[in-house]
């Protein structure tokens, strides 16, 4: 290349570069659309090399290449570098009124902010996209479907699940009208399924996630890293049902797919292995879970700030592993750290707060600090109830265990009347848990069977 350049004058060099970059830009756009990580990795050096010849490129070409490189960096997990390039390209595209390019950069910058959990910046991106989208495109265009997918994903990361669900459902509807964009439809379906899962609507979540998987399968893309994402969230649904073996199989397969596409220390791999660690806890492999979650935490801490949502979730899972291993001191330290961080963070997910509160209540339960445990359990129950989350049944189950323990202690103190009151309350909590559980879980699920078995044991 350098030899060819030496044979040309500056004008010829510029024309050559402009022509090459036009072809390159089109090809990169196609690869980005398919989210092919292997091909995107191979184009990093090409983009970086062309940008060393800025003096031969006009402003639109330079900014378009920078924006493409920033988008590639997002896929490869180079969030700091991607953020820098995309933030600069947004300023330039806004200045020169390149709206389509501006929208594209905003969407990918929004994706980076979602990964780095920068909630205030996510809100700013949403505002900018809404201003452009509302004044520029009609609902018949394909572009709005992609915008709606991005907006839905961003609202999801802010905990605005109903808004996210509405946007993603609209995106799915638009994508289904344009059957050429299979993978865009698959992504929208997957995100919609995950939002439904977070809202506790497991039946719809399972339907949308499985539909997304079928789209990838029909497109001969079963090895796509997004399929790993789908399998992990399907696994999480089976975990909620109490089907631990099925959950483990799905999540392990999902982790394998991520590891095929990314290095062991990639943030996406940390995200995947965090859920695998939780699955091991549910399956009873506590030491294995602890070892895996400790490694996962190191990856998170080397890539993100301490308030990052994925990092806090991993800490909570690690605390749960310590609880099962009867290391209550370490579990309590971690859970108090997590809850303190949630207090400091605006727009923290109340369901995550409830889960951490419930875990801390469990620590106090095992330490026989029943009053402190009960207060925390009721606090968690209130949060789950306010958001109509299925975990309300698990909180009721925990309260039942606590009241049974109080009943036994009352009998030990020769107070049978009080013991009977506590026992009656424990049965009431279990009946409520069973009733609510049947609204969210399959009747034949292991979770429902466990509650029924407990009720028979008490009665």
What are the Cα distances from residue 348, in Å, to 156, 271, 343, 352?
Answer: 12, 18, 8, 8
Q: Give per-residue burial for 430-458: e unless 16+ CB within 10 Å, then b.
A: bebbbebbeebbeeebebbeebeebbeee
SS (H, E, C) 37-78: HHHHHHHHHHHHHHHHHHHHCCHHHHHHHHHHHHHHHHHHCC
pLDDT at 363: 97
Secondary structure, 3-state, 152-206: HHHHHHCCCHHHHHHHHHHHHHHHHHCCCCHHHHHHHHHHHHHHHHHCCCHHHHH
Distance between CA atoms of 403 and 429, rounded to whole angstroms?
9
Residue 140: the pLDDT is 53
* Other beta carbons less than 10 A from residue 280's beta carbon: 24
Helix (H, G, I), strand (E, B) or coil at 386: helix
Structure-block tokens of residue 335: 């859970």
Q: What's the pLDDT score for residue 133?
A: 75
Average pLDDT on 350-362 reads: 95
- What pLDDT is stored for residue 5 in this prediction? 46
pLDDT band at 4 (very low <50, low <70, confident <90, very high): very low
pLDDT tens sequence across 24-54: 777 788 888 888 888 888 888 878 877 776 6
In whole angstroms, give the CA distance from residue 131 to residue 136.
9
Burial class (CB in 10 A: 0-12, 13-18, 19+), 10: exposed
Cα distance between residue 185 and residue 176, in whole Å: 7
**122 in Cβ contact with 154 (< 8 Å):** yes
DSSP line for 322-370: HHHTT-HHHHHHHHHHHHHHHHHSTT--HHHHHHHHHHHHHHHHHTT-H
Per-residue pLDDT tens digits for 172-225: 998 888 766 688 999 999 999 999 999 989 999 999 999 999 999 998 888 999
- Long-range contacts from 256-263, C-beta under 8 angstroms, 24+ separation: 256/228, 257/223, 257/224, 257/225, 257/227, 257/228, 257/231, 258/225, 258/228, 260/223, 260/225, 261/37, 261/38, 261/225, 261/228, 262/37, 262/77, 262/225
The string of pLDDT tens digits covering residues 51-100 is: 776 665 556 777 888 899 999 999 999 999 999 999 999 999 988 888 88
Separation CA 343–CA 84 (nearest Å) = 29
Confidence (pLDDT) at 143: 65
pTM of the model: 0.88
Pull the structure tokens for residue 402: 């606590």
- β strands within 224-351, DSSP E: none
**27 or 372: which leads in pLDDT:** 372
Buried b / exposed e over 338-374, threshold 16 CB at 10 Å, is bbebbeebeebbbbbbbbbbbbbbbbbbeeeebeebb
pLDDT at 26 (0 to 100):
77
| Predicted local confidence at residue 375, as pLDDT | 97
């Amino acid at each position: 290349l350098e030899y060819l350049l030496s044979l040309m004058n500056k004008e010829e060099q510029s024309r050559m570069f402009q022509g090459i970059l036009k072809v390159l830009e089109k090809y990169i756009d196609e690869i980005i659309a398919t989210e092919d990580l292997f091909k995107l990795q191979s184009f990093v050096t090409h983009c970086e090399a062309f940008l060393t010849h800025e003096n031969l490129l006009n402003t639109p070409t330079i900014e378009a290449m920078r924006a493409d490189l920033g988008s590639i960096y997002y896929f490869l997990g180079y969030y700091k570098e991607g953020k820098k390039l995309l933030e600069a390209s947004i300023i330039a595209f806004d200045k020169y009124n390149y709206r389509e390019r501006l929208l594209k950069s905003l969407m990918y910058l929004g994706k980076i902010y979602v990964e780095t959990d920068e909630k205030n910046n996510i809100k700013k991106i949403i505002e900018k996209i809404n201003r452009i989208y509302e004044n520029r495109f009609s609902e018949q265009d394909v572009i709005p479907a992609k915008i709606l997918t991005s907006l839905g994903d961003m609202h999801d990361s802010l905990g605005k699940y109903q808004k996210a669900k509405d946007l993603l459902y609209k995106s799915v509807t638009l994508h289904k009208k344009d059957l050429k964009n299979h993978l865009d439809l698959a992504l929208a379906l997957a995100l919609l399924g995950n939002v439904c899962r977070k809202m506790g609507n497991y039946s719809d979540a399972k339907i949308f996630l499985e539909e997304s998987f079928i789209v990838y399968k029909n497109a001969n893309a079963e090895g796509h890293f997004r399929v790993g994402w789908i399998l992990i969230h399907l696994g999480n649904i089976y975990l909620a049902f109490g089907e631990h073996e099925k959950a483990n199989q799905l999540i392990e397969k999902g982790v394998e797919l991520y590891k095929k596409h990314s290095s062991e220390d990639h943030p996406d791999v940390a995200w995947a292995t965090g859920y695998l660690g939780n699955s091991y806890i549910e399956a009873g492999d506590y030491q294995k879970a602890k070892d895996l979650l400790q490694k996962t935490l190191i990856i998170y801490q080397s890539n993100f700030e301490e308030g990052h949502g994925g990092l806090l979730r991993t800490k909570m899972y690690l605390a749960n592993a310590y609880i099962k291993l009867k290391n209550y001191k370490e579990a309590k330290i971690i859970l108090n750290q997590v809850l303190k961080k949630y207090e400091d963070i605006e727009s923290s997910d109340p369901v995550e707060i409830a889960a951490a509160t419930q875990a801390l209540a469990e620590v106090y339960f095992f330490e026989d600090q029943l009053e402190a445990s009960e207060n925390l359990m009721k606090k968690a129950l209130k949060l789950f109830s306010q958001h109509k989350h299925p975990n309300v049944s698990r909180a009721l189950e925990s309260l039942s265990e606590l009241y049974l323990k109080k009943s036994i202690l009352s009998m030990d103190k020769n107070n049978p009347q009080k013991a009977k009151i506590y026992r009656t309350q424990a049965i009431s909590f279990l009946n409520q848990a069973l009733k609510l559980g049947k609204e969210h879980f399959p009747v034949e699920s292991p979770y429902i069977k466990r509650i029924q078995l407990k009720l028979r044991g008490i009665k």
